Amino acid sequence: MLGSGLSRPLEGVFLELAKAANNSKSMVFSVDSPSGFFTEQAMPEGAVAVEADFTLSFHCPRLMFFFPESQAFLGTWHVLDIGLQTPQTNEFSQDSIPYSYTLIHELKPIIKNRNAFSHKGNFGHALLVGGSRGKYGAMILAGRACLKSGAGLTSLIVPSDAVNIMQSALPEAMCIASDASDIIQGSFNLEKASAIGFGPGAGTDEATSKTLKAIVQQGIAQMVIDADGLNILSENKTWLAFLPSGTILTPHPGEMDRLTEKADSTYDRLQNARELSRKFSVIVVLKGAYTAICFPSGEVHFNSTGNPGMAKGGSGDALTGIITALLAQGYSNSESAILGVALHGLAGDIAASEFGEFSMLASDLINCLGDAYSIIQE
């Protein structure tokens, strides 16, 4: 069935044909896009379109391919090269917004090989800050992901009760105890840190908020803020203006809504993320099936790796560790966000193939980071 990018609802015989296809038990293939499906904007309420099992599109993906609401219509989609004058591309624009769909092979050029004469000082000192009683595991995951992502040195600021847990779990990491036994509290000397990741399991205690504020005030640009770090920012939105330019925020949809406003659709949430990025000159990594990395320039990069086996507690903590490690090694903030998200998803895909989506854990994903890196580097 020949698809179309029409921006008006199906009517008449086309509507009837679509309904018939949807009621049929046959496998439905759509070409270009399913008839009646809106490729550039959300479907109007009540509109009908063909619900395909597979969609074969041309030249470049369309914006609406990246939203959960479209899945019922698109099924599994692929983009085919049809020999247009410009070569096949994963870049496309929509309402003058430049989008791209990052494929694995495009990342190889940004990989930095380790020089034969390099030493641990050449790979930076990554500092992770987080953990609160009952959520110390988040810092084990973030720390381990950081270690397995090539950082020269990794230090963890954790509640004092968690220091020994970290030392047991992560013998390669050094620890600095918070002033409090069960939360992050106090001010810390960050001079030795090449990059900072704040948030895994941190909680939102007022003392912890003060610590985050103090770190932000030190103006270190190589920073990732995740999880409870984002929740603290949501409760203190005036602080957003003080984030150093290039800071990477990694919200999941719920955290995104708290940072901005409750979105009516995933499309609206993406636009909120873009606006947040532009307004405060930060990189917003909006996590989802196709994680969207929004840059202050307005550009959006959709990630192409990952699977629903990662939809489990701990996956986000791993991402924070990975991006912090990349920043520490001297990757630019943009590269760290794009490469980190891709590595995270690819490691998840390898873990899913080994342990299954049902059973794979964030720990399994982390153990697959080396293989993910090798695939990108190939």
Torsion angles phi and psi, residue 29, rounded to 5: -105, 130
Structure tokens, 68: 């959960």
CB of 115 to a second copy, least distance (A): 6
Tokens describing residue 205: 């205690």
Question: Residue 170 or residue 282: which is nearer to a second copy going by CB?
Answer: 170
| Nearer of residues 105 and 114 to a second copy, judged by Cβ | 114
Least separation in angstroms between CB 350 and a second copy: 12
53: which 2 tokens?
């099992």
Strand 292-294, strand 283-286: pairing: antiparallel
Name which of 108 and 279 has its Cβ closer to a second copy: 108
Q: For 173, left (φ over 0), alpha (ψ -120 to 50), or beta?
A: beta
By C-beta, is 137 or 296 nearer to a second copy? 137
Strands (E), 239-376: 248-249, 283-286, 292-294, 300-303
Give Cβ neighbours of residue 260 (< 8 Å, ≥ 6 apart): 272, 273, 275, 276
Q: Taking the complex as a whole, how short is the minimal distance between the CB of residue 328 and a second copy, in angstroms?
A: 11
Q: Quick one: CA torsion of 61, 64, 66, 68, rounded to 10 degrees?
A: -150
Q: Smallest distance, Å, CB 126 to a second copy?
A: 10
Q: Specify whether the CB–CB gap between 221 and 333 falls below 8 A.
A: yes
What is the smallest separation between the CB atom of 164 and a second copy, expressed in angstroms?
Answer: 6
Tokens 């342990």 found at: 355
To a second copy, the closest distance from the beta carbon of 290 in angstroms equals 9
SS3 of residue 285 by DSSP = strand
Rg of the chain in Å (alpha carbons): 22
Nearer to a second copy, 8 or 358 (CB): 358
Nearer to a second copy, 36 or 288 (CB): 288
